[in-house]
Amino acid sequence: MRISDFRIHSIAIADPPLRSSYGLHAPYALRTIVELESDDGMVGISETYGGEAQVQQLETLRSRIRGANPHRLTGFLSPMVEGDSAGTARSQTWLVPGENPLDATTRTFAAVEVACLDLIGKTVGQPVCDLIGGRVRDEVPFSAYPFYKHAGGGGEASDAREDEYGEALSPESLVRQVKQMIARYGFGSIKFKGGVFEPDVEIETIRQLHRTLGPNVPLRIDPNSAWTVETAVKVGRALRQELGRGGYLEDPVAGLAEMGEVRRRLLTQGIDTPLASNVAVTCFGDIPAAVKMDAVQVILCDHHYWGGMRQVQHLARLAKTFGIGLSMHSNTHLGVSLMAMAHIAAATPHLTYACDTHYPWQSAADELVLGGRVPIVNGCVRVPDKPGLGVELDYDQLARGKERYARCRYRKRDDEAEMRKAVDPNWKRVLPRW
């Protein structure tokens, strides 16, 4: 079996006006869909970060992919993910995920690896999770991912989407948003994107969530590095009970040393709320310093930029070895990425927290999985008993996504620019802000 065709599709999908310390989500998010077709007519697919730079990176591999044996391609390309070791850090404090040039290579490899595994799975009739070690779970738990947001469901003009959740710029409306999400998807844990308002407002938001949902729903807050060490310690102390059971404080501050300092100060006060990160630790090269400083107790992996499914499995074994928890980071995505995340999670024993997902923020109108959106039931995605990732492309929907990309003015993600355009012309990302 050889790869006879390699297709790269840039798409745009509607995205609601979600807020974070990076700024504001634009009306459209960009994704890239990869297809690898074999000479016996099978097609393997994957989804990754979007925009022009990602496509250019994928294009550079064309001559190595065409004609390759998909079982061997990942070996040939392995220098792309084996380059980093101790000291080659890649923090993305100042860059939104998918826009960090330092992980462009691992992101690009991952898109190819997932498509290869899907192609292999479809060819041999086995689910991807069972090609990479075998499933340890059939149902993968995900968290609700509430955001402060402005009114609107994403998209523009006649292409605007329904605003299912409405505006949420206060603790009360955030709680309402979470209740809606739980009612619809049955989520059992909550990851709340903070870093938008004064820390006291966000503390109050977590407290209201805790009161509303009870002590058995783990809560997490992620201000995307917006706080000083002092503020982070203050929030950690204020929310010691609310974040205590199965929750965590995610990237409260920028920098590994600063994370380590927050950890040290919290422990000194008897507070062992774990610190999680997908900003201070984004590659293997970040880990030795993180371990040394005890800077991160939970790593949020993302197969897209960690270099694919097998690298995430390596990471999980490493994390377990050092007593570090593992969860999964998410960026705006459709069902192909969701299924890839689910397959990796299914075949990764040391996954200690429900995974993040932005999926509820996307609209069925943009889904390009044949048959429509992947169900999330009781907060879980079920790994289907189908070959490969278990999903196929709806080519009509793909065509619409490509038209949307052609039509929209975005070619990369820039939440700061969007914030200036839509909310405050003088807005700047400041770290730490509080």
Q: What is the CA radius of gyration of the chain?
A: 20
The token pair at 417 is 């620019």
Q: Should residue 40 be labelled a site residue for a copy of itself when binding is judged by CB under 8 A?
A: no
Cβ–Cβ under 8 Å, residues 12 and 410: yes
- Does 39 help bind a copy of itself (rule: CB under 8 A)? no
**Residue window 131-170: x/- pattern of binding to a copy of itself, with contact defined by CB under 8 A:** x-xxxx----------------------------------
Piece of 19-27, 45-53, 130-138, 226-234 that binds a copy of itself (CB under 8 A)? 130-138
d(CA 63, CA 397): 28
Give how far the C-alpha of residue 366 lies from the chain's centroid of Cα atoms, to the nearest Å.
18
User: Would you list the DSSP string of 260-318?
Assistant: HHHHHHHHHTT--PPEEESSS--SGGGHHHHHHHT--SEEEE-HHHHTSHHHHHHHHHH
Cα-based angle 342, 347, 351 (whole degrees, multiple of 5): 75
**Closest CB to a copy of itself among residues 94, 322:** 322
Closer to a copy of itself by Cβ: residue 134 or 371: 134
Residue from 215, 349, 372, 375 in contact with a copy of itself (CB under 8 A): 349
Is position 428 annotated as part of the catalytic site?
no
* Least distance (Å) between residue 272 CB and a copy of itself: 16
- Choose the catalytic residue: 329, 333, 343, 358: 329
Nearer to a copy of itself, 40 or 425 (CB): 40
**Annotated catalytic residue within 193, 304, 333, 358:** 193
What is the rounded CA–CA span in Å between residue 44 and residue 34? 8
User: Can you tell me the distance from the alpha carbon of 364 to that of 209, in angstroms, rounded to the nearest whole number?
Assistant: 28
Q: Which is nearer to a copy of itself, 24 or 309 (CB)?
A: 309
Under the binding rule (CB under 8 A), the answer on residue 255 touching a copy of itself is no
Minimum CB distance to a copy of itself, residue 106 (Å): 13
- Choice from 291, 365, 417, 431 touching a copy of itself (CB under 8 A): 291
Among 347, 354, 380, 393, binds a copy of itself (CB under 8 A): 347
- Backbone angles phi and psi of 275, in degrees to 5: -100, 130
Using CB under 8 A, which of 53, 55, 71, 240 touches a copy of itself?
71
234 is a catalytic site residue: no
The residue ranges of DSSP E strands in 125-176, in sequence order, are: 139-141
Residues with catalytic annotation? 193, 329
